Amino acid sequence: MPYPAGHRERTRERIVRSARDLFNRHGFSEVSIDEVMAHAGLTRGGFYNYFETKGDLYAEAIALAMREPPVARWPELNVDFSAVDAARRVIQAYLSQQHFEDIDGSCPLVALPSDVSRENAKVKRAFESVFEGMVRLFEESLRSDRSKVRDRALVIAGLCVGAMVVARSLDNRELADSLRGAARKAALELGAWSDSKGKKLRGRRLPTTS
């Protein structure tokens, strides 16, 4: 009996989402193909119908963040990527308590950097594309200031990612929260974006992202 239309695409997506959650939770090296497939409700034998290696799956799991940015998972934070204040909203969401606690759905820049550094070029390129997407968002909001826009965008992105990586690694929750708050304040100040919704923000309306 033939599978219904779209079955292959839906199955592939189940595997990628399963891998994303498990890699975020445990790290690439600690998760087996068997575990990924079991978490997706599938058997190991079907894995090679979709991916050649675990590394290929890893790259797909990282790339999922480009299609579904983690900050979009928390509607209560109201992240509108087309808004003039998108950069401010992303910074606040990225360094939020919601992101701090959402391990499975975390940004791969936070969850997987040490694993990526040991992987092949394909995986590194996928990781790099996520970081570049974040930098471009900040660059767009800084466009009206022509001095060292790229450098400032890189610093802001690095500050957001680095602060969350360290905060997740701390046992002292008060210290972790203080670090996130300090990083959020510094990132907003670097972009001259107000932490208050009532204050006029710099930049221009951003193009809608896919």
- Domain residue ranges in the chain: 7-67, 70-190
CA–CA separation, 193 and 2 (whole Å):
55
* Mean pLDDT, contiguous 10-residue spans, the chain (210 residues): 74 92 86 95 91 88 76 70 80 90 83 70 80 89 72 94 92 95 94 63 38
- The full 3-state SS of the chain, as one line of letters, equals CCCCCCHHHHHHHHHHHHHHHHHHHHCCCCCCHHHHHHHCCCCHHHHHHCCCCHHHHHHHHHHHHHHCCHHHHCHHHCCCCCCCCHHHHHHHHHCCHHHHHCCCCCCHHHHCHHHHCCCCHHHHHHHHHHHHHHHHHHHHHCCCCCCCHHHHHHHHHHHHHHHHHHHHHCCCHHHHHHHHHHHHHHHHHHCCCCCCCCCCCCCCCCCCCC
- Name which CATH class applies to 70-190: mainly alpha
The upper half-sphere exposure of residue 92, i.e. CA atoms within 13 Å in the direction of its Cβ, equals: 18
Q: Does CATH number 3.30.420.40 belong to domain 7-67?
A: no
Q: CA angle, 144 as apex, 154 and 140 as ends, to 5°?
A: 45
Q: What is the pLDDT, as a whole number, of residue 19? A: 92
pTM value is 0.74
In this prediction, residue 179 carries a pLDDT of 96
